């Protein structure tokens, strides 16, 4: 029989998993998500999370507790009488009592190959570190930070063309299928758990805006991975003087290119910028207050001559 599940998630990344679980006939007793936040025009309206929007469309009850650590929250959670809970980027710590409430446990979808990149920003950090591959894993949760036993995994190569947005979308789709397979195995009583390795643990710290400035004194591949790992948010940026004015540009996409020069120097009219070793050609960028645009469109309206310096 299909499982009776509690689904706990918040951002876009979690939506495919919710849809796949519901589409495969599992009964979603309740959806837990973060409370709506002010947003929209002038920030006056409360904007629901992507998961709340989908849950309400599907007619699933939505719960937005401020904490799960009270007896009242535990009682409400238990009242759903769920077989298991599925957790995807929920954004709130689950205490032991909550983890113990579903009779089959709580299962998290995490966007890395654990134990590498435990924590908040595994997609960004994998790209920025130059990793050749990443993936998604389903683990049975414990009270540690992404330390639970692993049930299933899918691997995915990281190419130099991938941005964090690209990787996010691919892993969200792969992860949804993986969680459906994991819940099918759990339903049959055939889900095997394996302890994580003690070696190779790394932590994916939250992305800070202070680390978004591009350091052109690094090799071209490191610059490219830094740019793509922060695209589109918060966006890696650099300053350049255009028409006598200092302008901040976010660089959203680039490609490795031939050429050399002083780090940060433009070396041709195709917006190729020298790094410590090699160069990158900017293919998509965003000027402050403007929308993203292709470099070719930017160059039609802005003269960027060789010798101009980014810093």
Q: Which two tokens stand for residue 71?
A: 């007896």
| Coil vs helix vs strand at 209 | helix
Query: What residues are designated binding site?
Result: 112-115
- All structural domains of the chain, each given as residue ranges with its CATH number in brackets, are 4-203 (3.40.50.170), 211-301 (3.10.25.10)
> What is the structure's pLDDT at 305?
87
Q: Whole-structure pTM over 0.75, yes or no?
A: yes
pLDDT (tens, 9 = 90+) of the chain, 311 residues, equals 899 999 999 999 999 999 999 999 999 999 999 999 888 666 678 899 999 999 999 999 999 999 999 999 999 999 999 999 999 999 999 999 999 999 999 999 999 999 999 999 999 999 999 999 999 999 999 999 999 999 999 999 999 999 999 999 999 999 999 999 999 999 999 999 999 999 999 999 999 999 999 999 999 999 999 999 999 999 999 999 988 889 999 999 999 999 999 999 999 999 999 999 999 999 999 998 899 999 999 999 888 889 899 99
Query: What residues are designated binding site for (6S)-5,6,7,8-tetrahydrofolate?
Result: 112-115
Q: Is 284 exposed, middle or buried (0-12, 13-18, 19+ CB in 10 A)?
A: buried
Q: Look at the alpha carbons of 270, 274, 278, 280 in this order and tell me if their dihedral is positive or negative.
A: negative
Q: How many other C-beta atoms can be found within 10 angstroms of the C-beta atom of residue 24?
A: 14
Q: Give the HSE-up count for residue 49: Cα atoms under 13 Å, Cβ half-sphere.
A: 22
Q: How many other C-beta atoms can be found within 10 angstroms of the C-beta atom of residue 70?
A: 12
> What is the structure's pLDDT at 303?
85
Q: How many other C-beta atoms can be found within 10 angstroms of the C-beta atom of residue 244?
A: 5
Q: Report whether 275 contacts 263 (CB < 8 A).
A: yes
* DSSP class per residue in 280-299: EEEEEEEETTS--EEHHHHH
Q: Please give the angle made by the CA atoms of 95, 17 and 159, to the nearest 5 degrees.
A: 105
**Burial profile 160-198: b = 16 or more Cβ within 10 angstroms, e = fewer:** eebbbebbbebbbebbbebbbbbbeebbeeebeeeebee
* DSSP class per residue in 61-88: -EE--S-S-SHHHHHHHHHT--SEEEEE
> What is the structure's pLDDT at 301?
87
CA–centroid distance for 115 within its chain: 17
């Amino acid at each position: 029989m299909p499982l009776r599940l509690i689904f706990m998630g918040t951002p876009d990344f979690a939506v495919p998993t919710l849809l796949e679980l519901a589409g495969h006939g599992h009964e979603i007793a309740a959806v837990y998500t973060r409370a709506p936040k002010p947003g929209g025009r002038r920030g006056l309206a409360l904007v629901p999370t992507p998961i709340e929007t989908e849950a309400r469309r599907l007619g699933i009850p939505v719960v937005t507790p401020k904490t799960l650590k009270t007896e009242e929250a535990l009682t409400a959670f238990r009242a759903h009488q769920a077989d298991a809970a599925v957790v995807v980027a929920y954004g709130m710590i689950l205490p032991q009592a909550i983890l113990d409430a579903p009779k089959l446990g709580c299962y998290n979808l995490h966007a890395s190959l654990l134990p590498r990149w435990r924590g908040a920003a595994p997609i960004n950090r994998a790209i920025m570190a130059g990793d050749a591959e990443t993936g998604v894993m389903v683990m049975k949760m414990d009270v540690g930070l992404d330390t639970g036993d692993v049930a299933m995994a899918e691997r995915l190569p990281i190419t130099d063309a991938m941005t964090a947005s690209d990787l996010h979308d691919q892993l969200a789709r792969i992860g949804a299928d993986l969680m459906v397979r994991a819940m099918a195995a759990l339903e049959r009583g055939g889900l095997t758990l394996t302890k994580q390795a003690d070696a190779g643990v790394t932590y994916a710290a939250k992305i800070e805006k202070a680390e978004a400035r591009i350091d052109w004194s690094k090799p071209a591949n490191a610059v490219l991975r830094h740019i793509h790992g922060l695209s589109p948010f918060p966006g890696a940026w650099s300053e350049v003087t255009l028409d006598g004015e200092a302008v901040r540009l976010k660089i959203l996409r680039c490609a490795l290119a031939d050429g050399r020069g002083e780090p940060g120097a433009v070396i041709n009219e195709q917006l190729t910028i020298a790094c410590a070793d090699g160069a990158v050609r900017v293919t998509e960028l965003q000027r402050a207050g403007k929308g993203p645009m292709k470099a070719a469109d930017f160059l039609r309206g802005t003269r960027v001559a060789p010798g101009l310096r980014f810093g």
